[in-house]
Each structure stands twice: as C-alpha cells, then as structure tokens.
Chain A
Amino acid sequence: MSELEQVWARLREVPDPEIPVISLVDLGIIRDVEKRGGETWVVVSPTYSGCPATTVIENDIRKHLSKHGLEVQIERRIAPPWTTDWITDEGRAALKAYGIAPPSTAKGPAECPHCGGHDLERVSQFGSTPCKALWRCNDCKEPFDYFKCI
C-alpha cells in the first residue's frame, strides 16, 4: 500500500466525534489526501461553519495518524462548500442503523429510521447538533433525528 493509500485507510478508522457510527471519510468531509513537497496533506471541508466538532476532528486526525507513524498537515477548505451529497452509501446506511434518518432529496426524511413509517412530522428545525433536525413518526410514535439535507 502506498503512503497515501495508508492515510486513506487510517482516515476510514476515525469516527465523527458527535456521530461516532460514521467515519470522516463516509461523512464526505475528507476531500483530498496528497503530497506537497515532502509533506502529506489532508484536505478537510467542515460541515457547518460554526460546528464545534471541526477543531476536534482535526485533532483526532492528527492523533490517530500519528499513532500509526503517519504525520500529516491539514488544510481546511470551504469551497466548494460541503454538501450532504458527499455522504457515502455506507455512511447513509450507518446513520439509518443508528436511528438517524439520512439526508433525503425531498424536504424531509424518506421514512422513519425505526419502523419505516411514512407518516412523519417535523418537531423542530434544529436538533442536538447543527447538522440535524428533530422529527417524529406518527406510526411508531417515536421521535428521531434527521440529518438535514444541504
């Protein structure tokens, strides 16, 4: 495995600090891993501009890679802006299994992540983190987080 492939593989092991079932790679925020001169750079696009996890994520990347003998520099890149379209299919499946409805192209979740019901209503436009909203399923009566589509 080349060094860049090793970095990608290790990055797949770093979970999102707030939604630990999804890796940073599956979340779609790792935009690039590349060599610049002798240095290895990881390009990260933050989800929301004020997300407090952004700095934690950068520290987690450095810590995990350094544990495996890989030293990297990190570039924070805002353009093009991160979009939920960059979340991988594996990431979407992991969110759903965890009880978070994955982002949908429609104005809300496609179905209840608990029971698959379609009679859904929004409780609040914001949830426990900037990237989520709070919804409720009228079939199983359970509330659930919805990963906002942006």
Chain B
Amino acid sequence: MSALFEFLLRMGDNTLVLGHRVSEWCGHAPILEEDIALANTALDLIGQTQMWLGLAAEVEGKGRTADDLAYRRDVIDFRNCLLTELPNRDFGHTLMRQFLFDAWHKLMLTRLCDSSDERVAAIAMKALKEVSYHLERSADTVIGLGDGTEESHAKMQSALNRLWPYVGEMFEADSVDDLNAQEGVTVNPSELRADYDRIVYDVMSDATLTIPDSRFAHRGGRDGSRHTEHLGHMLAVMQFLPRAYPDARW
C-alpha cells in the first residue's frame, strides 16, 4: 500500500465516519435549526469524502471506486481517528466532538492547500471553506453551552473529559506521515499541535470549561490496529444496503 493511498484513506475515512455519525442526528436534534445545521455539516463531510476516497481509488489504480472503499471494507481497513467513530451520546457531546475535530481539520486543510500534490491541494482548498464554517459554528455552540446553564455546563465539561483522551491521536506521526511529509504532500501532524492547543484553550476559556491535565492518548484508529468496538456497529448500519444488495443501483 503506497503512503499516498494510506494518507488519502486517513483523510477520507475521518470525514466519512464523522459525516455518518453526524447524519445519525437527522430528525432527532433538539430544535429544527440545529437539525438542519447538523444535516448540512454531515453533507459537507460526505461530499469531502467523495473527493478524498475518489482520489484514493484513483491513486490505488485497482479499479475500485470511492463507493467500493466506503462500503466494502471492514473495520480493520478503516483509517479514521478514534475520535470520529465515538457514538454521539447527547447533543452537547456531539458538538464538543465536532469542535475538537474541526479545530484539527481546519489547521490540517490550511497546510494541505500548499501540498506538492496539486490534487490534494485542490481538495483541501475546496474543503477548507466548508470546514472554516463548521469550526465557527461548533466553537460558538461549545461556548454557548459551556457558559450556559448549570446543567449545560456540566454536560459540556463531562463531554470534554470523556473526549480529551481521543485528541492526541490526531497529532501522532508514523512512517506514513514521515514519507508524505518528505515528499511535501502533507505535513507532520505533530506540527499542528501548538496552534491547536491555543485555539482549544481560547474556546474553553470562553466556555468556562477546564481542559483535563493529561496527555494520555488512545490510539489505533489512524493505522487501523485497534478501533473501538463502536465502529463495527456503525458500519453494520452504514454498509447494510450495499452488502445485502450488491451492485444495487438507483
């Protein structure tokens, strides 16, 4: 498997898995405006997935399509960060997960706009516009709920405590990242951490939330070595139709 293919899977699986998770809210959000906002966010992420996995399939050159990659791989083949596959739980938890991902996503896409691979840069430039908007919204919501009522504050603090151990994995680097960074295709994710910490610190301060004092990180998603048990359940739902009715068409 080439390093470029692996990198594209990591980008596309992040947006696919999180996009699917967010879409699970469709019809269930606390108010109509939030329902629409979540559905639109999911739509952007799925659209970005088509570009990332489409390019991955092209780079692989084995005749697979973006749909084949999305629907015909199993858990161990997925390369998304663990953070994106965690269940939604409550609305505040969903938006906290979104913020922690959006902040990383925007920093990463900003750097990828200068990728030596112009196909990667083109996708990044397109996605960055949408993700900047996602970050604005998730940051606003985290601040609104964190600095809200006693109950919303407690829920947001609990969400941050629960999700924080899944942040570190987004900044880990392995030989795939080293190879791609040498080629100028991407950057070493660890370079993004200082900027990320500043953004998170500012938002959590405004949200009156306390960042846990630990750098412990669960890992195993972005190299596929150990996903959480949740991903398999998610894929069982997401992949049901194409697996039950192979080659079905609209």
- Does A130 contact B125, Cβ atoms closer than 8 Å? no
- Does A49 contact B37, Cβ atoms closer than 8 Å? no
- Does B36 contact A50, Cβ atoms closer than 8 Å? no
Kindly identify, within residues 87 to 111 of chain B, every residue whose CB is under 8 Å from any CB belonging to chain A.
none
**Given known A80-B125, A124-B36, A128-B36, contact A52–B43 (CB-CB < 8 A):** yes
Kindly identify, within residues 35 to 52 of chain A, every residue whose CB is under 8 Å from any CB belonging to chain B.
48-52
- Does A81 contact B36, Cβ atoms closer than 8 Å? no
**Given known A78-B51, A125-B137, A127-B36, contact A49–B127 (CB-CB < 8 A):** yes
- Does A126 contact B40, Cβ atoms closer than 8 Å? yes
**Given known A79-B125, A150-B133, contact A49–B33 (CB-CB < 8 A):** no
Q: Is B129 an interface residue (CB 8 A)?
A: yes
Instruction: Give the contacting residue for B33; candidates A51, A78, A126; CB below 8 A.
Output: A126
- Does B48 contact A79, Cβ atoms closer than 8 Å? no
Q: Is A115 an interface residue (CB 8 A)?
A: no
Kindly identify, within residues 101 to 150 of chain A, every residue whose CB is under 8 Å from any CB belonging to chain B.
123-128, 130, 134, 148, 150
Q: Is B70 an interface residue (CB 8 A)?
A: no
- Does B126 contact A78, Cβ atoms closer than 8 Å? yes
Chain B residue nearest to A130 (CB atoms) is B40
Q: Is B123 an interface residue (CB 8 A)?
A: yes
- Does A50 contact B33, Cβ atoms closer than 8 Å? no
**Which chain B residues border A126 with CB–CB below 8 Å?**
33, 36-37, 40-41, 137
Q: How far is the CA of A26 from the CA of B122 in the complex (A)?
A: 24
- Does A50 contact B47, Cβ atoms closer than 8 Å? yes
Rounded to whole Å, the gap between the CB of A150 and the closest CB of chain B is 5
Q: Give the dominant DSSP class at B's interface.
A: helix
Q: Is B231 an interface residue (CB 8 A)?
A: no
Kindly identify, within residues 6 to 63 of chain B, every residue whose CB is under 8 Å from any CB belonging to chain A.
33-34, 36-37, 40-48, 50-51
- Does A49 contact B122, Cβ atoms closer than 8 Å? no
Instruction: Give the contacting residue for A124; candidates B33, B48, B125; CB below 8 A.
Output: B33
**Which chain A residues border B43 with CB–CB below 8 Å?**
48, 50-52, 130
**Given known A79-B121, A130-B44, A150-B133, contact A49–B36 (CB-CB < 8 A):** no
Chain A residue nearest to B132 (CB atoms) is A150
- Does B125 contact A49, Cβ atoms closer than 8 Å? no
Q: How far is the CA of A134 from the CA of B48 in the complex (A)?
A: 24
**Given known A126-B33, A130-B44, contact A81–B133 (CB-CB < 8 A):** no
Q: How far is the CA of A134 from the CA of B46 in the complex (A)?
A: 23
Instruction: Give the contacting residue for B37; candidates A51, A78, A124; CB below 8 A.
Output: A124
Rounded to whole Å, the gap between the CB of B238 and the closest CB of chain A is 16
With most chain B CB atoms within 10 A of its CB, the pick from A49, A52, A81, A127 is A49
Q: Is B136 an interface residue (CB 8 A)?
A: yes
Q: How far is the CA of A126 from the CA of B48 in the complex (A)?
A: 18
Q: Is B130 an interface residue (CB 8 A)?
A: yes
**Which chain B residues border A148 with CB–CB below 8 Å?**
133
Instruction: Give the contacting residue for B48; candidates A50, A123, A128; CB below 8 A.
Output: A50
Q: How far is the CA of A19 from the CA of B143 in the complex (A)?
A: 34
Q: How far is the CA of A130 from the CA of B47 in the complex (A)?
A: 11
**Which chain A residues border B137 with CB–CB below 8 Å?**
125-126
**Which chain B residues border A123 with CB–CB below 8 Å?**
33
Known: A80-B125, A125-B136, A150-B133. 9 other contacts (CB 8 A): A49-B51, A49-B127, A50-B46, A78-B51, A79-B118, A124-B34, A128-B36, A130-B40, A148-B133
Q: List 6 A-B contacts (CB under 8 A).
A: A48-B130, A49-B44, A49-B130, A125-B133, A125-B137, A126-B36
The interface of chain A, by Cβ under 8 A from chain B, is 48-52, 78-81, 123-128, 130, 134, 148, 150
